[in-house]
Structures are given as structure tokens and as C-alpha cells.
Structure 1
Amino acid sequence: MTTPNTPGGAAPSSMNLRGAVDLSTLKARAQSRETPGAGPGGPASAGGGSPFIVDVTEQVFPQLVQLSAQVPVIVAIGASWSEQSAQVLAVLEALAVEQAGRILLARVDFDGQPGVAQAFGAQGVPTVVGILKGQPVPLFEGVLAEPQVRSYLEELLKVAQANGVTGSLNNDAQGAGAQEPADQPLPPLHQEAFDAIEAGDYAAAAAAYRKALAEQPADQDAKAGLAQVELMERLRTADATAVRTAAAESPDSVEAQLAVADLDLSGGHVEDAFARLTGFIARSSGEDRETARVRLLELFDIVGPTDPRVNKARSALARALF
């Protein structure tokens, strides 16, 4: 494998919790029982080292998703044969210890845990992704110097604070006796869809969302949910390398371009997905153009109507159409 290109400079000025596929697809594949050796607060620490650094398997992963509502989870995807992975991991481990429970560092073996790596759209190592409230937040790929890695981490902590993720893994005394506010129950059809997603039955989830839309056509959550589960179903058996190769070889194939746009969005490369489809729409016509336009609107629903990337892409779509 090759190491992905590394974006230079400091951390992006703003990160967004939306715009990447929900990790329910991986949660549904994981075993529901707790992993042996895991403590009551989360997965077991790796090798008896820092309690703020863990090794990840698909079985442990649901616990990390739950913990991401309490603290940011930093997922470092690397490989034992990669010197660059070791360099990045050493920096992240030092920062995790320094943060003393404000973050959890989750180490993923690219070769040993391909399902976890694929869930984040990792094309190479090292790849570093955050999780906040169950949503992936792409951070960086390749090797960065310690000040740049620290900058990404600080930015993620700011986003976490803005979204109420301000807990600590080192606050047993503080958390004792504290009671979490009860979640509001979902509408019945939304709960039915969520349960189906947890079971990996995306067709049933889509059917539930369609029922909800039939009852309330203005239900934006159902509309976004339907678009998302349809995307998850399309990606279930997708081979990233084959998809990207087909798109490169067939730039005028609507099916190939839709598939790679799905892949980009699932990995958090939102602007790339939008630009690919608006570019295709601009140079195509007829049924292919309409098919791409409809899919682009579905991707807008997944990312969210208030996201600035959606507003920018809507303007690009209007220029492409007119």
C-alpha cells in the first residue's frame, strides 16, 4: 500500500459533525456482548499501558462510539510495517497521555482490522479520524509534525466543546452519582428504522423512513435518514479500489461517478463528492444529468441543509444547470 497525500498547514478552521456516514453499519456488525477484559467505563486499555489508549477491534468498536458522546475519540489507523504510522502514533500517544482523559486514543491495525479501517474509508496508513457523538470527523492522513498534530487535536476539542462533549475518562469521583438526562423517545417509525439499522437491515430501515414520509412529507429527519440508509446499502459491498478505478476509466459513466461520490461522502470528503457530481452534471445531459442531480440532492440531505458546503454546492449546481 502507499501512504496517502498529506494536506499541509494547520488544522482546518472549522470541522463539522455532519457530512460523514454514521457508523451504525459497523456497530451492527459488531457483537452485542461486551469484550472480555473491558471495564465498566469502556474498552480495555492496550497492554496495561495508559488507560487513555486502546487497541480496537470490531467487537470493541460500539463502546468507542458510546464513549464519543463523553470525550472525543481519536482513531489512528496504522500498520506495523509502516514507519510513518509509528511516527504519528508516537505523537498521538504522547498527546493522549498529556490530555489525561480529555480524549481517548484508539489504535487500529489496518491489516488486522480491515472492517474498521474500511468503515472510515482509509485508503492507506497512517490515517487519523476523530469521532464525536458517534459521527466520524476526518482529521489528517500521512505524517505531520507534532505542532500540526497538536493543532488538529486542539481544533477537535473546540468542536467537541461546542457540541457539549466535555467529559473526561478520569473523573470517576466527579461522575459518581451523576445522572444523565433521559433521551427523548424517537417517533415510532424512526425507532423502527433505527432498530433496523442496528440489525444491519437497511431495506427495512428505508421502508420505515418511507412510511414516515408518507405520513409527514415535511419530515426532514426521515428524509435525511432515508438518504443515509440507501447510501449505506449501496456501500455495503463496495470495493473502494474498484470503484475509483472505474470512475477514472469512465468519466462519462453516471453509475461510476455516482459510486465514487458515495465513497467520497462516506469517508468525509464532502466537497470532493459534491464537486464530482456538479462537474458531471455540467458536462452531461438528458437522463444521466437528472440521475446525477437527484443523487446530489440526496447527498445534500445527508450532510444537512445548514452546512456551508451544501450552500456552496447548491450554487455550483445552479450554475451547472443553467
Structure 2
Amino acid sequence: MQPRNMSMSGVVDLAAVKAAGEAKTKAEQARAETARQGGAGAVPASSLVIDVDEAGFESDVLQRSTEVPVVIDFWAEWCEPCKQLSPVLERLALEYNGRIVLAKIDVDANQALMQQFGIQGIPAVFAVVAGQALPLFQGAAPEAQIRQTLDQLVQVGEERFGLTGIAVEAGGEGAEQQEAPAPPPGPHDALLEAAVQALDEGDFAGAVQAYRNVLSDDPVNTEAKLGLAQAELLGRVGGLDPQQARKDAADSPADVDAQLAVADLDLAGGHVEDAFSRLVETVRGTAGDDREKARLRLLELFEVIGGDDPRVAASRAALARVLF
């Protein structure tokens, strides 16, 4: 499991099934028709970041995805993590210079699209490649991880679907923003990148230490708090035998450590509600140190998902009812 479910495994699996072959054929046909009509020509840099609504989704996203991978940023004005993530995605869309297009969808104004994609918390980032939709990640994430995901998306688009991107005009609206120098590195960027690299290499202890080093100097650093919770989770589940852990929890429902282990496995496997529910019930059925241990683990798992996720809000309310 990559932090925040940031994995391109879905793309690879998608390309392996029949639907992906059909999507590739349709993409090739669409490009051939465009070429027959004289080609699409270069587009202004300003068209690399677009606002999309339900009415324009087919033309702005589905049709465009036959030429270039379209990254979708589901956001809302009230969402604080969205305000951190969206500017990064917009800057990267310009930097990738036609290899991706960023489509921004306001979930408050486009509830049908939100439901269609099964969005349960924002920010949520998806991609559409040759008409095929797939999740990329949810919540704010370190820029290094976002770049890695976009690089993999571009690679899959080229290798599996023949999407080589679109030509971008030199100059014109948006060019100054595209050519602007990258912002100076932050004081903790090197440590955060080292933590991401450690995660990629499976060195969870190293990632934990790197994130803790950041937090010792900047206790409110959002990326480090999120990364630490994820790295600790990955470290805990890495040594578990899932089948044995679930058997132990079923055989010994009063064993708090056994329940914590299965909750970790559930969250790592994407079964968020199951993990939260198990720990709420563990808190309900325990007292003293055992109850506190279960409560703290639940709070740690909230950090992994992000406080803006509605599943976290619902579970916080359930925990409060149990405690008070």
C-alpha cells in the first residue's frame, strides 16, 4: 500500500483487461479522425487547467482523454486540504506541458459527478485515460509523491494507449506561469523527500524517523503528520500474517492487540469503515489502559485518512458516544 492509496496498479490492471483494449482502439480511432480533419493543432497553456461541470464532462474529459490523460481534481471552496493540493496540481499541469490536462470539478455544484465516481471525501484525484476512469489518490499529498504518480500515469498513457499528449503554444496566456521558476525549496523538503524514498523502498522505520525529524522542528507540518501516520501503519502491517491475525481476533475478541492488528489490516486494505467500526467497538468493550490503547490507535488511523473525510467525522461521533 502506498500512502494515500497513491498507486498506479489500477492503471496496469486496467490495461490488462478487455475493456482497456477496447479503449485503446477507440483512442486510436479518435486520433485518426482528428488527423484526417487536419489535426487538432497546438493549444494555449491556459487550456491545460480547466473547470469542468456535468454538461461539459463528455467533451472536456472523456473526449479529451483520447488524446492525453486527464487528471480530475474533485474540490470544494470550504475544503482546506483542497486549498493546499489544487495549486500544486495546477502548477504541475502547466509544467508537464501537454502531457496531462487538469480538470477541476467543484463537488458542491456537480453532485451527480461526485456520486458517479463514488467520492466519499475530498480532495480526491482521479484520472481518465482513453475513456477509462481510475482513482489516483485522496487527500493532500507531498509533491514528490504526486510527481511520481503523474509520471507513471503519463508512462502508462503512452505505452498502453499511445497517448503522447497535446502540443502547447509557445507564449500566449498562461506562458508566464508555465515558465516561472519553481518556488525555493522549503526547510524540510529534503527530509520529506527522503521519507517518501524510504517508503518506496519499504524502509518504514527510516520513513518514520524522517517524518519525526520534521515534526520535532515543525510540530504542525501537515505532510509530516500524515506521512508519519501512514508509515507507522505500513510498518505495523508489514510483519503480519493476515490470515492468522484475523483468526486470532475472531478467537479472542477481548484481546485488544489482536483487534488492533485486524483494524490495521482493514485500513491498509481499503476497508476503512470496518477498521473504524472494529476499534469503536473495542473501545466500547474495554476499560483502563486497554480502552486508551484502542482509542489512540483509532485516532492514529483517522490521521491516515484525513480529518475532512466523512467516514472520519462519523466515526469521531461514534467514538464520542461510546466515551461520553
TM-score, structure 2 as length reference: 0.52
Q: CA deviation at 1:261?
A: 0.4
Provide the residue aligned with 1:236 in structure 2. 238
Could you tell me which residue of structure 2 aligns to residue 75 of structure 1?
13
Query: Aligned partners of 1:160 and 1:296: how far apart in 2?
Result: 20
Kindly indicate whether residue 137 of structure 2 is the aligned counterpart of residue 174 of structure 1.
no
> 2:204 matched to 1:202?
yes
Q: Which runs of 5+ in 1 are unaligned?
A: 1-18, 25-61, 66-71, 79-88, 105-150
In 2, Cα distance between equivalents of 1:173 and 1:204? 37
Q: In structure 2, what is the equivalent of residue 227 of structure 1?
A: 229
The verdict on how the C-alpha distance between 1:175 and 1:283 changes in structure 2, with shifts beyond 3 A counting, is farther
Q: Give the Cα separation in 2 of the matches to 1:160 and 1:183.
A: 26
Equivalent residue, structure 2, for 1:13: none
SS of the residue corresponding to residue 218 of structure 1 reads: coil
Mark the CA change 1:183 to 1:175 in structure 2 (over 3 Å): closer, same or farther.
farther
Partner Cα distance (1:99, 1:238) in 2: 44
In structure 2, distance between residues paired with 1:161 and 1:255: 32
Q: Partner of 1:303 in structure 2? A: 305
Structure 2: 5+ residue stretches without partners: 29-64, 70-112, 131-156
Equivalent residue runs for 1:7-46 within 5 Å: 21-22=3-4
Q: CA deviation at 1:188?
A: 2.5
AA aligned to 1:294 is L
Partners of 2:3 and 2:227 within 8 A in 1: no
Contact 1:20–1:268 (CA under 8 A) maintained in structure 2 = no
Cα distance in structure 2, aligned partners of 1:269 and 1:20: 15
Distance in 2 (alpha carbons) for counterparts of 1:299 and 1:160: 17
Contact 2:279–2:294 under 8 Å retained in 1: yes
Correspondent of 1:274 among 266, 273, 276: 276
Q: Deviations over 1:41-76 (max 9, x none)?
A: xxxxxxxxxxxxxxxxxxxxx8x46xxxxxx72737
Q: In the TM superposition, what is the alpha-carbon distance from 1:154 to its structure 2 partner?
A: 6.0
Decide which structure has the larger Cα Rg and report it.
Answer: 2
Moved over 6 A (4+): 159-162, 176-184
CA separation of 1:160 and 1:214: change in aligned 2, threshold 3 A: closer
Provide the identity percentage: 39
Does 1:163 find its partner at 2:140?
no
Aligned positions, number: 203
How far the C-alpha of 1:194 sits from its partner, in A, is: 1.4
Equivalence for 1:315? 317
Q: 1-side partners of 2:315 and 2:280: how far apart?
A: 8
Instruction: Give the distance between the partners of 1:204 and 1:297, measured in 2 at CA.
Output: 22
The yes-or-no answer on 1:263 pairing with 2:255 is: no
